[in-house]
Structure 1
Amino acid sequence: MSEWKQKRFWTAATAEQNDAGWTVTLDGRAIKTPAKAPLVLPTQAMADAVAAEWDAQDEVVNPLSMPFTRSANAAIDKVAIQHTEVADMLAAYGDADLLCYRADAPEELVDRQAATWDPYLDWAGATFGARLMPRTGLMHESQDADALAALSGPVHAMSNFELAAFHDLVSLSGSLILGFAAAQDLHPPLTIWAASRLDETWQEEQWGEDEEAQEVAKIKEGSFLHAKAFFDAAKTG
């Protein structure tokens, strides 16, 4: 039996403002999330992006080609009902942040990690009053509790839509600090993404590129860039 797929039934998708915020209508009918909640969006930029995705659908709807719609659904159907739990999970990355786990050899890799990652840790120290400390090796060592608390506050203060995007910025990079750096425009997103892949890039330089690994990395890069775009579209201020 072939899998059922939704077919396009509308002529035009339109971003519209209402008392609750922004939504998208298909020939005047407001879209709902998979959980049947109203698709209420925080900004016109996000509504325009969602509407463009629906307008771009051909005869058969392809959800994989609709990242803004999927992220908005996640913010409403998932993050909104467990905001505290999601924020706690992301803030916990600070205690095992990618940027803090350093090699002890070879010297070139040690130097590259310090040159690339230390400025991010310094920036977080100046911005949040929370300077995480590097460790050598893979064994976990807890970070200062006050520093972790200082990093947790801004995560919990994010809106549901910001937090949905921040989830991907952090989980894809493996770093709470890089997630903040992307969210706050410290550097271009591709520069921050490259920083998260420093160890992988080093390995590729030593042993050559693996085609399958490169394809996976490219997909993750695209997801990271989308998360940044969604975070920006979620900003109301």
Structure 2
Amino acid sequence: MSEWKLKRFWSDVATQPEADGFAVALDGRIVKTPAKATLVLPNETLAAHVADEWRAVEVEIKPEAMPFTRSANAALDKVAVQHEEVAGLIAAYAETDLLCYRADSPVELQKRQAEAWDAPLAWVRDTHGLHLEVATGVMPVSQSEASLQKAQALSMGMSAFALTAFHDLVSLSGSFVLGLMAAQNCDTPENLWNISRIDENWQQELWGVDDEAAEMAALKKAQFEHAYAFYQASVLS
């Protein structure tokens, strides 16, 4: 990761076509990933996002200010080389999907969960044939093997770039279903994020705002919104 500590040494940033997509070049030299792979993006739109981040560097490279570059690096250095394992890890969220575990009380929270979560579960059932059982309380509920296989197939069918973003959409929300809705552009990232925060928002209403928790939630929301943008850019033809 030593290259992240470098200061700006380039004047020009440009994108250029390559055999498998588009690369980003600094003064004519193509950017490499931390693992020294050539940073080739699947389309010009995603390459433009990465190029904009390199143009925005003023003095020192700060990875936290370059989310598209970081996600692209992860896609090539991590996800591409273990695609099946990552797909399986994400699909496993369908076994314990957030939307399947409902409160046993109070009635007001149960109603709020049903209003927010029943529709996404109906969508994934009707659209993808992925039927997930719902439970009340903390006792685990077993999901059918057929549904889990469908979740696996959906994850496996994604490119390394899409799967990188999908991983974050699912893990940040705690829901394979909400992550899939985000990936397939079925709702805004803000609405989907709010749906995933029903329990946390309920607790906040009861006990007030915890500044540290609120700061962490804001960070995760920003990461979720980035993952949404990265996914949508990665699947453009």
TM-score by length of 2: 0.97
**3-state SS of paired residue (2:104):** coil
Match for residue 81 of structure 1?
A: 81
1:103 matched to 2:103? The reply is yes
Match for residue 147 of structure 1?
A: 147
Matches of 2:236 and 2:18 in 1, distance apart?
16
1:46 matched to 2:46? The reply is yes
Match for residue 117 of structure 1?
A: 117
Match for residue 215 of structure 1?
A: 215
1:193 matched to 2:184? The reply is no
Matches of 1:29 and 1:208 in 2, distance apart?
52
- What is the CA deviation profile of residues 7-46 of structure 1, one whole-angstrom value per residue up to 9, with x for unaligned ones? 1000021111122210000010000100000101101111
- What is the CA deviation profile of residues 39-59 of structure 1, one whole-angstrom value per residue up to 9, with x for unaligned ones? 011011110000000000011
TM-score by length of 1: 0.97
- What is the CA deviation profile of residues 119-174 of structure 1, one whole-angstrom value per residue up to 9, with x for unaligned ones? 00000001111121110111212111111112221110000000000000000000
Matches of 2:87 and 2:18 in 1, distance apart?
29
- Contact 2:133/2:142 (CA < 8 Å) preserved in 1? no
User: Which amino acid counterpart does residue 100 of structure 2 have in structure 1?
Assistant: C
1:58 matched to 2:51? The reply is no
1:126 matched to 2:126? The reply is yes
User: Which amino acid counterpart does residue 38 of structure 1 have in structure 2?
Assistant: T
Matches of 1:147 and 1:60 in 2, distance apart?
47
Cα RMSD of the aligned pairs, angstroms, is 1.0
User: Which amino acid counterpart does residue 56 of structure 1 have in structure 2?
Assistant: A
Match for residue 166 of structure 1?
A: 166
1:84 to partner: Cα distance:
0.1
Matches of 1:116 and 1:174 in 2, distance apart?
15
User: Which amino acid counterpart does residue 25 of structure 1 have in structure 2?
Assistant: A
Structure 1 moving runs of 4+ over 4 Å: none
Matches of 1:127 and 1:151 in 2, distance apart?
12
Matches of 1:107 and 1:128 in 2, distance apart?
31
Work out the percentage of aligned pairs sharing the same amino acid: 52
User: Which amino acid counterpart does residue 158 of structure 2 have in structure 1?
Assistant: M
Aligned length: 234
Matches of 2:153 and 2:19 in 1, distance apart?
30
Matches of 1:114 and 1:79 in 2, distance apart?
35
